[in-house]
Amino acid sequence: MAVALTWLTHIVDAVLPPRCIACAQPIDGAASGAVWCALCAEQLEPAPALGSYCYVGPLADAIVRAKVGRDAAVARALASWWARSAAPTLPRHAAITFVPAPWRRRLARGFDLPALLATALGDVDGAPPVVELLVARRHDTKLALARSREERQALVAGRFAARRTRALAGLAGSVVLVVDDVHTTGATLGAACAVLAEAGVRPVPWAMAVTPSSS
């Protein structure tokens, strides 16, 4: 059944034009791998920090479609697009990891967007390996409602732990890229990086989208 659905998806993609991951309008005359219509592509705003884009307009719409709408196809398309865009701007690093979502959230959505982003970066030619170095020890239900950095820092305190693996030990002293989807106040990404720094690596935060107040 799964094989049949995969072939059906390929046939539909070959017959119908791809659709924009933000507004769902057909992308007429799109180049291979295009995920934005011309109008939405014009509205993408590069952020001045973290090699990211501003969390506004079409990008924010696509992220909401992926995460709130639990649209795995949009999530994968976002990851592929961002990896191609971000790869030339990345600092030198020995490995790529990501800020993990709690298992309940991963189970509910069926995917973890930061993990998809990291995997897509790892698929770029010549990229270092992707290693899972962190675990989310709990789910913070109020985190999405917190807006101040102080409030978010209090909520994420102790949320992450390092996976004491051979891979982590082998990266001691090395630069590790830590990928997240949305950088709001920096509390979550900062907490993840702090745990890795304590474990002996040199974490570099990198997010796909940055909210205007934090960029």
Q: Which pLDDT tens digit goes with each residue over 150-201?
A: 666 666 667 889 998 899 999 999 999 999 999 988 888 999 999 999 999 9
Q: How do beta strands 160-162 and 134-136 pair?
A: antiparallel
Tokens 């101040």 found at: 148
Q: Which pLDDT tens digit goes with each residue over 106-136?
A: 788 889 999 999 999 999 878 899 999 999 8
Note whether residue 1 is domain-resident: no
Domain that holds residue 156: 15-210
Note whether residue 5 is domain-resident: no
Q: Which pLDDT tens digit goes with each residue over 97-109?
A: 999 988 777 788 8
What's 148's domain CATH number? 3.40.50
> Which is more confident, 202 or 50?
202
